[in-house]
Each structure stands twice: as C-alpha cells, then as structure tokens.
A and B are shown apart, each in its own frame.
Chain A
Amino acid sequence: MSFASFADFLAMGNHGAYVWSAYGICLVVLVLNVLLPLQARRRYLQDEARRMRREESR
C-alpha cells in the first residue's frame, strides 16, 4: 500500500480532484461502451422476433 490511511488514499496528496475525476470519466465511458451495444442488441432481437412472427402469421 502506498497510502497510510483511506483518507490519504482519497486525498491523493492534494491531487484527489484530478485523479478521481479522470478515473470517473474513464469509468463512465468504458461502461457506456459496454451497455449501449448490449441494449442495441436486445432491442434488435425483440424487433426482429416481432417482425418474423408477423410474417409467419400472414
């Protein structure tokens, strides 16, 4: 461990605001890059299944 306490870890030696905002933004972007394609896939599969059912019942 490079820090004496958890408060020290959060403070990052007066650079806390910079380090945590950079990591926070990075985390948000990475999570978005996973969630958006997953959501698009779910929506596409639902739409496509509905379309195929419509065509079959015709």
Chain B
Amino acid sequence: MSNLMNWTWFHKLGSPKWFYEISGRWLPGLAIAAALLLLVGTVWGLAFAPPDYQQGNSFRIIYIHVPAAFLAQSIYVMLAVAGVVGLVWKMKLADVALQQAAPVGAWMTAIALITGAIWGKPTWGTYWIWDARLTSMLILLFLYFGVIALGQAISNRDSAAKACAVLAVVGVINIPIIKYSVQWWNTLHQPATFSVIEKPAMPVQMWLPLLIMVLGFYCFFAAVLLMRMRLEVLRREARSSWVKNEIRGLVEGKR
C-alpha cells in the first residue's frame, strides 16, 4: 500500500488535466524569472563585464552562445528521457513533452551554431571549420530535424510517438560526443567554460553574468515548453468535458 502511495505523483503526472492545472500555476513565475534573468544577464554581459584580454569585446558573444549550446544539449537529453518514459510506461504526456521540446531544441542549436560562426570569424579567422565540436553540433541539429519530421510524417499518434522516442533515445549517443569532442580531437574550439570540479578560469565579473544567462535560458525554455505543451494537451483532449469548459471560459473571459 505504501508503495502505491509513493507513485501517485507519477500517475498524476500522466493525467493531462492535472498537468494543465499545475503548469498554469507555474507558468507566470517561470516567465517572469526568465525575463528578469535574461535582461540582467544581457545588460551585465554586454556593458559591464570586462573585455577579454585576447579576444577583446567579441568574447561577449559567449553570453548567448554558451547558454544556447547548454540548452540545446540538455533539451536533447530531455527528449531521450521523455522517450524512455513514453516507451516503458506508455505515458501520453511524455510524447507531448517530446514533440513540443524538439522545435525549441532545434532553435537553440541553431542559435549556438550561428553565434558560434559569427564569433569564429574575428577569433579564428573563419566562420566554419569541419572540426569535431562544430560537426557534432550540426549533427545534433539534424537529429532534431529528424524527430520533428518523424512526428509530423506518421499520422498514427501512437506509432509517431514510438518512432520519435526511439530516435531520441538512439540519438542521445551524440551528446557525450559533443561534450568530449574538444578533448578527443584536435580543435580550434576552446575547452569547457564551466566545470563542476574546478574553479572557473575567468574572473567573477565575467562568469557571474554567464551563470545568470544560463539560468535565464533554462527558465525561458521551461516557460516556452509549458506554453506549448498546454496548447497540445488542449488539442489532444479536445473531446473531454474539462477542455470544453476551459475553452469556453478562456474565450468568454476575453470578451
């Protein structure tokens, strides 16, 4: 009996109605936190952080490049986790999360690649090289495209969910390749900016705004993901009475 009690939250999480209610309560706070963190981090990083002694002011691109690259990889790991949950426990909400996170992950990968290319020009003298870090990030972008295309191409929802989950789980092998690419192969790309075990090589005025930007990007993703998932839940549950009531309330509330 006590064992059953411990898992109630997990089964609740599978209930679209419960998710819709709890996410509606979290969303405003996450959105405000994201806006504040991104605003403070951007102003601090652009105007107040000291310039790099080698790269000058072009290093300020780090404040969007690194958070976007972190998020791009974290979101893919999230897709894989959602994929496992969907495959093992047949939780429908896991598929909603997977489908709705994938486009955001693709956008974040694109930001990381584009800002990295722009940063590469003044720093390395070239926008692009086919080295391990850049190539594995490009593969990450194509994995996202694969998940999105697969989800849209298969009309049967359960088959699409299964196919996307398998691709997400298999593709996660690319994540350690991205992480260790700067150590395994010779590269122009600089090594990791943050490490759990070592003190940052940068002065505090440089890495604190970076930390704020990373937190801001994660809050931004959480808010956008909840927003997208809530709409998808309404779409998939359109036949149920609570969704009809919710839509009626939302439309009438606006008038």
Interface centre among B56, B61, B250 (most CB of A within 10 A): B61
Q: Verify A37–B115 contact, CB threshold 8 A.
A: no
Q: Verify A3–B56 contact, CB threshold 8 A.
A: no
Cβ of B91 under 8 Å from chain A: no
B10-54 near A? 1/0 per residue, CB < 8 Å = 000000000000000000000000000010001000111111000
Of the candidates B56, B64, B110, B227, which one forms a contact with A37 in the assembled complex, judged by CB atoms under 8 Å apart?
A: B227
Which residues of B have CB within 8 Å of A26? 64, 68, 111, 115
Distance between B164 CB and nearest chain A CB, rounded to angstroms: 19
Where chain B touches its partner, the secondary structure class is helix
Interface size of B by CB at 8 A reads 40
Quick one: given A3-B47, A26-B111, A40-B231, are A49 and B122 in contact (CB under 8 Å)? Answer: no
Distance between B12 CB and nearest chain A CB, rounded to angstroms: 24
Which residues of B have CB within 8 Å of A29? 107, 110-111
Q: Which residue of B lies closest to A8 (CB)?
A: B57
A35-47 near B? 1/0 per residue, CB < 8 Å = 0011011001110
Which residues of A have CB within 8 Å of B107? 29, 32-33
Q: Verify A52–B57 contact, CB threshold 8 A.
A: no
Q: Verify B47–A9 contact, CB threshold 8 A.
A: yes
Q: Verify B57–A44 contact, CB threshold 8 A.
A: no
Q: Verify B110–A49 contact, CB threshold 8 A.
A: no
Q: Which residue of A lies closest to B250 (CB)?
A: A45
Interface centre among A2, A12, A18, A29 (most CB of B within 10 A): A18
Measured CA separation A50–B178 after assembly (Å): 48
Q: Verify A13–B220 contact, CB threshold 8 A.
A: no
Q: Which residue of B lies closest to A43 (CB)?
A: B231
B99-122 near A? 1/0 per residue, CB < 8 Å = 000001001001100110011011
Cβ of B251 under 8 Å from chain A: yes
Which residues of A have CB within 8 Å of B111? 25-26, 29
Q: Which residue of A lies closest to B50 (CB)?
A: A2
Q: Verify B250–A25 contact, CB threshold 8 A.
A: no
Of residues 212 through 228 on chain B, the ones whose CB sits less than 8 Å from some CB of chain A are 220, 224, 227-228
Cβ of B234 under 8 Å from chain A: yes
**Which residues of B does A touch, CB under 8 Å?**
38, 42, 46-51, 56-58, 60-61, 64-65, 68, 104, 107, 110-111, 114-115, 118-119, 121-122, 220, 224, 227-228, 230-231, 234-235, 238, 244, 247-248, 250-251
A-B contact pairs, 26 of them (CB 8 A): A2-B47, A2-B49, A2-B50, A9-B47, A12-B58, A13-B51, A15-B56, A15-B122, A18-B58, A18-B61, A18-B118, A18-B121, A22-B61, A25-B118, A26-B111, A26-B115, A29-B111, A30-B220, A33-B220, A34-B227, A37-B224, A37-B231, A38-B227, A44-B234, A44-B235, A49-B248
